[in-house]
Structures are given as C-alpha cells and as structure tokens.
Amino acid sequence: MTIIQIIVLLVALQRLGELVLSRRNGAWLIANGGREIGAGHYPVMIAIHVGWLAAMAFLIPADAPIYWTVIGLYLVVQLGRVWVIATLGRYWTTRVIHMPDTPLITHGPYRWVRHPNYIVVVLEVALLPLAFGAWEIALAFSVANFAVLAWRLRIENAALDERVDVTG
C-alpha cells in the first residue's frame, strides 16, 4: 500500500465515522419531529464522494509527488469540518432533515457563512487530489460536486427559509 493509498484510506475511515455520527444524529432528529427532505440527491452525493476516493486510490500513481504543504492545508480545512460538526452538535447530519420549529444556528462558523460545511467540502474535494498532483481528479470531482451541491442547496435553503432566526 502506497502512502497515497494510506492517506486516502484514512480519509475514507473519517468519512465512515461521519456517516455513523450522521445516522445517529438523523435518527434522533427524526425521533424528535424532523423529516428528511430532498433525499433524491443523496445517492448521487455518496457516489461522487466514493468515486473521488476511489479515483485517488486507484488512479494516482504510487510515485506521484506529495505536496505536503497542500496536505497541511487539507488538514486545516478538516479543522473547519470539526468546527462545523461541533457547532451543529445533534443537528449535524449528511442528510437534509427539516425541523421547522427549530431556531437557526447563528454561532460558530454560521455567524459568518450560511453553509460553512459546503465550503469545507468544496475545498477538500479540490485539495486532496492536488496534494498528489492529480489536477484532473480535482477538476472532474469539483465539477460533479458543484452540481450536486447546487441541487442540495436549493433543497436545504428552502427548508432553512422556513426556520426561525432567534437572533433577529
């Protein structure tokens, strides 16, 4: 196993852990009155992320250069992911679960940006392949990711527009 494959495996394990957390949070949200909306995009989103990981694991040559500075940037972006998950707590999930009577989260990174998690995802989809010089993978999956995020944002923004902003 190459260092590139090891790094991709670690990212895949992180993603699997996030799916476990998402499932647990999603079950809690549903049990407390939430309902999933717009689930049609979800398999496409999963396929893009699995394809992204597989492309890096199987298409990047073992002797590809590793740009450690870009790996460092990727790790900084992961701190943003942790911040988002910690800020949302039980409300964080990889699915769109609508709870219309729940106030909007307006602290943490949400103080400045409505969808900080998507900034994280856009950056990581581009950065990780670029860390190995695989600009083609970065470009192809960034385009696919933008398309599914545009789809998802329409769904999520419609749901968020019904929520209550308690900060006035």
Q: Looking at residue 16, what is its pLDDT?
A: 97
- Supply the pTM of this predicted model: 0.90
Domain ranges for the chain, please list them: 3-160
Judged against a pLDDT cut of 60, whether residue 164 lies above it is answered with no
Say if residues 133 and 62 touch (Cβ distance below 8 Å).
no
pLDDT, average across residues 150-162: 89
- Rounded to whole angstroms, the Cα distance separating 112 from 80 reads 13
- Which run of H or of E encompasses 36? strand 35-36
| 3-160 is a CATH 1.20.120.1630 domain | yes
